[in-house]
Each structure stands twice: as structure tokens, then as C-alpha cells.
Amino acid sequence: MKLVNFTLFNRTRCIAVRRFFEQTEAVRRTLVALLVALTFIFASIWALTQKNELEPVIAVFVVLITILQGLPAVVATICPHPLMSAVILELSMASHQWKNQFMDLYLGGLGWKANSGIPEDIWDALAASAAEIPYTDDNMMKGRYLTQNTNKIFVDNLVTLADLYGDQFSPDLRLKILSTISRVRFSNSRFPHFEEPWLKIFAEKGLDRRAHFGQHFAELVKYIGELERMVDDLKKQHKQDDQ
């Protein structure tokens, strides 16, 4: 899913716009409180007198309150926070760190990328290679480490960034981050099904879970790769804005 660039100003103007709204935030809140009070007063008078000419006045106050309340969200949408470039970089680094750890565990490290002859976006090739990972005791041990350490660190990083800066993210990006967190956690919960006790249970039902071992990691690569591609689009947009 390609993100739409809502940044209407360059970075320098964005900083100026945000500073203006930050400096006038107290005025905005005062106006909202005043309009709420006036709306309550006119609504009370209207209720007592039933004078129809008061209805348009009340409607105008309600519209003004709505506009003033929505201004911070509008500013955040059309003019992202100056720190957002750094936050986007952190999101990208979280995905790259996970990818590098996965390659170290299962594909021999960065040498796999260098020798594969594939372009910069390697996620499809990585998923294809992950699907071919066989079920062995050594790969199971690596999978436990990935699940208990690498995946946990990755999810913790996403949760931290979402908690600190989630209100600055676009709805699409926020949803993708939450979806990725959910899918990685679900993947972690499914991994124990490859342990011996569960393998026996599945075997009794005529299912060979070992055959799905590589696909388990291919799906994980796909989920994280989708997030990284979305973040990469954002990095390109911010780079264009700075030019």
C-alpha cells in the first residue's frame, strides 16, 4: 500500500508552523472553553424561551468548537513533527536489525545478500529462502532464539515507538505497526507447535508440522517486509521534502 504524502510545506516552514501553533495553544484552549460556555448559555436561553433565532448562533458555536478542537490533528497531518524523520529511521532500523539477525541465524549473514545478486529490496528473496529452511535440531534451536530474543526486541522497539510517537503517524502506518506487532506475537505463539510433544499430537491427526517449518519463517519475513517497505516510502518522501 503506497502512502500519500500529506506534507504540504517543506521542513523549515513546518517547523515555523508548529512553533506558531505551540505558542498559541493556550489561546486556542481558552477560545474553546469560552465557546463551550457561550454555547451552554445560549442553549439554556433557547430551552427556556424557544426563540428560533438562537439556533443558528448555537450551530455556529458548535462548528467553531469543532474546528478549534481539530486544529492540532490537522497540523500534525499536513506538517509532520520535525523529529519524525528520526522516528522513521528508528522504525527502519528495527526492521533491518531483525532482518540481519535472521540472515545471521539461517542464511550465513550478510554474505548471503552480497552473493545473491538481488536488488536493495531483498524481502521477497528473503521470504523465498526462508521457506526452504529445513526442520533440524539446529534450526529449531535457532528458531527458539529468534522467537525469544530477536522477535521480542523487535516488538518492544515497535511498541515503544508507537507509544511515544503514535499520534504523529498516519492512520495507515499506525495500523501497519499494530498489525505487525500482532502478527509477530502470533508467530511466537505458534512456534512451540514445532516442539516434539506438539509434533506427536499433530502426527496423530495425520499432520506433519515439520513440513511447514520454513513457511513459518517465510510468513514472518513477509509481515516485517511489508512494514519496512511502507517505512521506506516514508523515508523517500521526507528526503524529497528536504530538497
Q: Distance of alpha carbon 166 from its chain centroid, rounded?
A: 8
Name the one residue in this structure whose C-alpha cell is 521480542.
152
Q: Which amino acid is it at 214? A: G
Distances in Å between the Cα of 141 and the Cα atoms of 15, 135, 145, 193 are: 49, 10, 6, 14
Residue 212's Cβ-side half-sphere holds a number of Cα atoms within 13 Å equal to 15
DSSP for residue 4: P
Phi and psi angles of residue 120, each rounded to the nearest 5 degrees, phi first: -60, -40
Cβ within 8 Å of residue 88, ≥6 positions away = 231, 234, 235, 238
Distance, CA of 54 to CA of 45 (rounded, Å):
8
pTM recorded for the entire structure: 0.64
Picking from 132, 147, 145, the residue whose alpha carbon sits closest to that of residue 214 is 132
Distance, CA of 211 to CA of 98 (rounded, Å):
24
Tallying the residues shown for the chain, one arrives at 243
The three three-digit cell numbers of residue 214, written as one number: 520454513
- Tens-digit pLDDT string for the chain (243 aa): 333 333 444 555 665 666 677 777 888 888 888 888 888 888 888 777 877 777 788 888 888 888 888 877 776 666 655 567 778 888 999 999 999 999 999 887 666 665 665 656 788 889 999 999 999 999 999 999 999 999 999 999 999 988 887 777 778 888 999 999 999 999 999 999 998 888 888 888 888 888 889 999 999 999 999 999 999 888 777 665 544
